[in-house]
Structure 1
Amino acid sequence: MPQKGKSLDLIIDNNHQSDGYYCSGDVVSGHISLKISEATTVKAIKVLLKGYAQVSWMHKWSRCSEERKHLSLSKTLLASTGQDLILHSGMYVIPFELQLPQSPLVSSFSGKHGHVFYMVQAVLKTPFHENHRVCRELCILNPIDVNMPSLISPVSQTCKKMIGSWIFTSGPISLSVSIDRQGYCRGESIPICALIENLSSRLVVPKAVIYQIQTYMAKGKKKIIKQVVASASGNVVPSDCSSRWNGNALKIPPVSPSILNSDILKVEYLLAVIVQIPGAKNLEVLLPLVISTDGRSSHSFDTSIMDMSLLYPMFTLPDVAEAPPSYAEVVLEEQFEDHSPPAYQPQPDWLLDGPAYNQQFRLQPPPSYSEIYPNEH
């Protein structure tokens, strides 16, 4: 609380980055504004820079929580040296500079069960009184090099399943998907090559989804949150037909960047291409993504199908069955009337140029969540 006759404020320079964030090695500058109405004895004026990661959630009847300190810097701007330091009434403006460490920092983030936050704090110390403090939030981003060799190689995967059983088997459905690389920046579009072969007796519908996976870890337990940040649905693929897409794009919205360097909080992304099958479990291909903040890189698009396991370890989600769509969702009303399949369309435009989920983010996830409860230790 402000002390009588004193007013303390902290202003951070806003001319560092157009996006208002700081990275490792950057200098955080600004000034402390102190207004006093009468002569005051001051012990010290300091500026602090702190950063923490915290996670917390309820597990059965107990709370799981952890905290990590990621940053702690301090600088004394004004201090008494043996004698009382007396400031007369008036306005004092004290500039400051603090350099962030060169080592990588964990990006700022706010999620359902945890967050990573940084703050700059001004502290006024006076004799016989509680310290006067004022804080300002600082946004930190850890830039990820999406041009690393492990992130610029094409990846692909193929999966297949039979529909029905025994004498009622109607035929297989297969899905092959490839993308040109795994590392992308916000605002870039992911060119997807996919081939669906539907040799079953059912009508199927393709869908492309970008998932954000938040993983919170505390006391040997995990809490996982899965949510959709962008999606697009395609046209019906009739029985005994195939559809191919070459380079259709799904745009990445302005989501939080991947967080891979914290031991209690992770943010990861998956591209899922799904074939929705009425009356059966969906067929899907999951390809991991690493999303960085900004900057664009030029890559040639390779449509060749490669073995994903040679390039990147398989990322699997907890096996949660998804309810199949109803017949009315995949069959047009006219088709329902005459029971006739639609004409074959070799190049349906099923991937959108823009994000299906277009809410603006400020390093925060979308508001709706679907929770997954994996096997907990």
Structure 2
Amino acid sequence: MIFDKLKRLYIVFDSPEIDSPPVFSSGDVVSGKVVLNLSGESKVQSLKLHAEGFAKVHWTESRSAGSSTAYTQNYSDEVEYLNRREVLLQADNGEHTLLSAGRHEFPFSFQLPEETLVTSFEGKHGSIRYWVKVKLHRPWATVRKIKKEFTVIEPIDINTPALLAPQAGTKDKMARVWYRNFGQVSITAKIDRKGYTPGEVIPVFAEFDNATSRSVVPKAYITQTQTFIARGTMKQKQAVVATLSGDVVGAQRRETWHGRAIKIPPVGPSILQCRIIKVEYMLRDMPPIDNERLIRDQSVLCLELPLVMGTIPLHPFGSRTSSVSSQYSVNLEWLRMAIPEQPEPPPDYSSVVTDEEAERNITAPHPEEDLSGIMEHPLRAFVQEFRFRPPPVYCEIDPNPQPLNMRRRCMTC
């Protein structure tokens, strides 16, 4: 009876944190070791490592070909992102290597492609996976295979102009039964930017105008749409990941949201670069009507604002939208006006009044006049004399400084 002397074969990835699995991105170096535990001396022909990464989709659809005939159609496709092979142990003579009993470690290291990879993903009709596979060849023994997956997350920096741009839209729908109109329902919504990260709060600015004779309940949703593509056919799966409900808006009434907060739960980042798998997010605003007969398909009233779930959060001072006041920029537009650090001096008198006008308004000195009856005339009669008087010369130094002792008394009073 032949006993297998291989007690255990496993893979260990190098990770800065022992308790958490490692996460990589394009261009990173994946390193670790393959560990063999032998109960006795054993001959090994080779130990080979194979790193792979694929995006795969697959689903089945049943189609009818007649009254009593049906057939099944399979849809599948795949995209390769990583394919690397490495030999960890190979006998020089091509026969075998004798390993003693105990523990043996074989380190490995390889670099992920510099071009953009795709984030790891698990869905109903497809997945994006990366793994390391090891094959152990020994004489007179079956090939031992082990595989261990690792996670790849491609960074999405939301601090880019495209993802910092505000998103806004308007939509309206006429509520009717047959040929009778019951009024119009309108939605206007705005969010500060397109890119967010999980855990952030989205302030929603919206206005719901209910011009119908029925009540509506404003709601906002964050939805995730998974799209799988194969052989020119598309399969989608949609789920609601967050909900925000408002107050009931009665007939002929209007409700305004001044930054209603909807929090993003822990969800995966957006996947937009894969040819066969996409993960997209959307903020949807829709006021459901309590009478479904008025609007048969209420989805046509849904206002959609695209979202991108990133991995790199907003920089604290990276842009105007990163400030707290920018979340309420609708009501604080005046903050955009820049205030100069130092005041500019007033314009020169010659730049305001022409020479001819100045000479015309300069009067010759008059002899002393009797001012005893000055208060008996209207005051505006004397205002004209001061219209073209030049302003005082601008100077940084106070021409009439206060005495030092007076300043001290003012400070103590």
Instruction: State the SS of the aligned residue for 1:127.
Output: coil
1:85-136: CA deviations, max 9, x gaps?
2212221122222222221111111111111111122222223433212111
Q: Is the 8 A contact 1:24 1:101 kept in 2?
A: yes
Flag the 1:119–1:214 CA change in 2: closer, same or farther, 3 A. Answer: same
Whether 2:74 is the aligned partner of 1:63: answer yes
Within the candidate set 138, 142, 159, 1:130 is matched to 142
Separation in 2 of the partners of 1:205 and 1:303?
26
Q: Deviation of residue 22 (structure 1)?
A: 1.4
Whether 2:327 is the aligned partner of 1:301: answer yes
Instruction: State the SS of the aligned residue for 1:25.
Output: coil
Larger Rg: 2
* Identity value in percent: 38
Separation in 1 of the partners of 2:130 and 2:248?
48
Q: Deviation of residue 148 (structure 1)?
A: 2.2
Whether 2:235 is the aligned partner of 1:235: answer no
Instruction: State the SS of the aligned residue for 1:301.
Output: helix
Separation in 1 of the partners of 2:148 and 2:311?
22
Whether 2:302 is the aligned partner of 1:290: answer no
Alpha-carbon RMSD: 2.2
Within the candidate set 190, 198, 209, 1:197 is matched to 209
1:159-170 matches, cutoff 5 A:
159-164=171-176, 168-170=180-182
Instruction: State the SS of the aligned residue for 2:218.
Output: strand
Within the candidate set 74, 83, 87, 2:85 is matched to 74
Separation in 1 of the partners of 2:249 and 2:125?
40
Aligned to 1:32: 34
Flag the 1:4–1:203 CA change in 2: closer, same or farther, 3 A. Answer: same
1:37-87: CA deviations, max 9, x gaps?
232222222222211111111122111111222111222222211254221
Point out where structure 2 has 5 or more consecutive residues left out of the alignment. Answer: 63-71, 332-413
Separation in 1 of the partners of 2:230 and 2:176?
43
Separation in 2 of the partners of 1:291 and 1:160?
28
Separation in 1 of the partners of 2:275 and 2:194?
22
Instruction: State the SS of the aligned residue for 1:129.
Output: coil
Q: Deviation of residue 140 (structure 1)?
A: 0.9
Q: Is the 8 A contact 1:179 1:302 kept in 2?
A: no
Flag the 1:33–1:289 CA change in 2: closer, same or farther, 3 A. Answer: same
Flag the 1:144–1:208 CA change in 2: closer, same or farther, 3 A. Answer: same
Aligned to 1:14: 15
Aligned to 2:188: 176
1:194-273 matches, cutoff 5 A:
194-273=206-285
Q: Is the 8 A contact 2:133 2:146 kept in 1?
A: yes
Aligned to 2:111: 99
Q: Is the 8 A contact 1:25 1:99 kept in 2?
A: yes
1:258-277: CA deviations, max 9, x gaps?
11111111111111011111
Q: Deviation of residue 146 (structure 1)?
A: 1.5
Separation in 2 of the partners of 1:237 and 1:297?
38
Separation in 2 of the partners of 1:273 and 1:114?
29
- Partner letter of residue 66 of structure 1? D
Larger helix fraction of residues: 2
Flag the 1:304–1:19 CA change in 2: closer, same or farther, 3 A. Answer: farther
Q: Is the 8 A contact 1:178 1:304 kept in 2?
A: no
Aligned length: 303
**Higher RCO, 1 vs 2 (CA within 8 Å, ≥6 residues apart):** 1
Instruction: State the SS of the aligned residue for 2:23.
Output: coil
Instruction: State the SS of the aligned residue for 1:62.
Output: strand
Q: Is the 8 A contact 1:246 1:303 kept in 2?
A: no
Q: Is the 8 A contact 2:28 2:111 kept in 1?
A: yes
Within the candidate set 127, 130, 137, 1:115 is matched to 127
Separation in 2 of the partners of 1:167 and 1:268?
38
Q: Is the 8 A contact 2:223 2:284 kept in 1?
A: yes
Separation in 2 of the partners of 1:56 and 1:33?
35
- Partner letter of residue 75 of structure 1? E
Aligned to 1:341: none
- Partner letter of residue 86 of structure 2? K
TM norm structure 1: 0.75
Moved over 6 A (4+): none
Q: Deviation of residue 286 (structure 1)?
A: 0.4
Separation in 2 of the partners of 1:215 and 1:86?
51
